[in-house]
Structure 1
Amino acid sequence: MSKFRFSDLLLKGKIFCQFFFAGSRLRQEDFPPRIVEHPSDLIVSKGEPATLNCKAEGRPTPTIEWYKGGERVETDKDDPRSHRMLLPSGSLFFLRIVHGRKSRPDEGVYVCVARNYLGEAVSHNASLEVASK
Structure 2
Amino acid sequence: MAERGARLLFFFASLIVLRFGGADKGSGIRGFTPFRFSVEPVDTLAVRGLPAVLNCSAASNALVRVEWKKDGTFLNLVADDRKRQLADGSLLISTVVHSKHNKPDEGVYQCVATIDNLGTISSRTARLTVAGTKTKPLRFINCVLSLLYEI
TM-score range, shorter chain: 0.7 to 0.9
For the 8 Å contact 1:32–1:120, the answer to whether it is kept is: no
Structure 2 equivalent of residue 126 of structure 1: 126
Q: Which residue of 2 aligns with 1:57?
A: 59
Other structure's SS at 2:124 match: coil
Q: Helix, strand or coil for the counterpart of 2:129? A: strand
Alignment match, 2:140: none
Q: Percent identity?
A: 33
Q: Which of 32, 35, 44 is matched with 1:33 structurally?
A: 35
Cα distance in 2 for partners of 1:104, 1:72 equals: 17
Aligned residues: 115
Deviation sequence 1:38-91 (CA, Å, 0-9, x none): 11111111011010000002242210000011111122xx23x61001111000
Normalized per residue, the structure richer in helix is 2
Q: Deviation of residue 29 (structure 1)?
A: 4.3
TM-score normalised over the length of structure 1: 0.72
Q: Deviations over 1:6-64 (max 9, x none)?
A: 9xx7xxx9xx9xxx6xx7xxxx9462632111111111110110100000022422100
Gaps of 5+ in 2: 25-29, 136-151
Cα RMSD, aligned residues only: 2.8
